Amino acid sequence: MSGDDQLVPHDSEAKERETIGLFNVVDKLRKRAVQAERYLIAIAGPPGAGKSTFAADLWRQLEADGAIVVPMDGFHYDNAVLDQRGLRSRKGAPETFDYRGFSVLLQRIRDGERDIAFPLFDREADLARAGAGIVNQEKFIIVEGNYLLLNEKPWSSVADYFDFTIFIDVPQEELNERLLDRWRTHGFSQEYAENRVATNDMPNIERVLSAQKNSDLSLSCATSGEMQFHVGQGYPH
């Protein structure tokens, strides 16, 4: 599980409320998926929102049912391809991912195939490793990524693959701080971090927030780190 999108620690009462909210969601998802062989869950949100952390939390709750996390990040184009296309400075933008390859993976999962290999992104090496993950007999497929609910072609069709969608919303000033910390943690200077966030991360954040499809469930995260659960139209009652 990736730890790049860590949530900010918060007080015990807030954590208890958050845990109860997660348990309620898990219980309702189990009820909705009782007849399903496969149940695909999307966790979307801007860079730094805490998608991988929440995906890991959800996976731990559903592990006994058979669950796996499939991150969209494995479909980054290689840096050599980005250099050829003049997109290296925009790495992480929608056009720097292999959308078609990602869609084929989702269709294979949707079709109920077994032994499906998928790539995983190695952040330290800054590249995707082919065949690093396998979807086999898991029931709950938890997919996390920035653009799963992006209402912008060709990404606008991705949401159709999912049975349930979740969007994590975090104030932009909080995202800015998290992303600065991410780049510093990876050994980059403050100057590099500020430039990377301003010229690449924030434009991607604004793109996600300005063109997102409605989700079944919205999680809003305050600067304290507390996640608050908000029901959408498609929430399983």
Q: Report DSSP state, residue 28.
A: H
Instruction: Assess contact for 40 and 102: CB atoms under 8 A.
Output: no
Q: Tell me how crowded residue 231 is: count the other CB atoms within 10 A of its CB.
A: 13
Cα 4 from Cα 145, distance rounded (Å): 13
pLDDT score for 36: 94
Q: Report DSSP state, residue 35.
A: T
Q: Which parts of 18-101 are beta strand (E)?
A: 39-44, 67-71
Q: Is 21 helix (H, G, I), strand (E, B) or coil?
A: helix
Among 156, 208, 211, CA closest to 51:
208
Q: Is 7 helix (H, G, I), strand (E, B) or coil?
A: coil
| Domain 12-229 CATH class label | alpha beta
pLDDT score for 13: 52
Give the global pTM: 0.85
Cα 218 from Cα 7, distance rounded (Å): 16
pLDDT score for 207: 93
Cα 36 from Cα 14, distance rounded (Å): 33
pLDDT score for 168: 92
pLDDT per residue as tens, the chain (237 positions)? 333 444 444 455 555 566 677 888 899 899 999 999 999 999 999 999 989 999 999 999 999 999 999 999 999 999 999 999 999 999 999 999 999 999 999 999 999 999 999 999 998 888 999 999 999 999 999 999 999 999 999 999 999 999 999 999 888 888 988 889 888 988 889 998 888 889 889 999 999 999 999 999 988 875 445 556 555 544 433
- Domain regions of the chain by residue span: 12-229
Among 204, 227, 214, 207, CA closest to 47:
204
Cα 137 from Cα 187, distance rounded (Å): 39
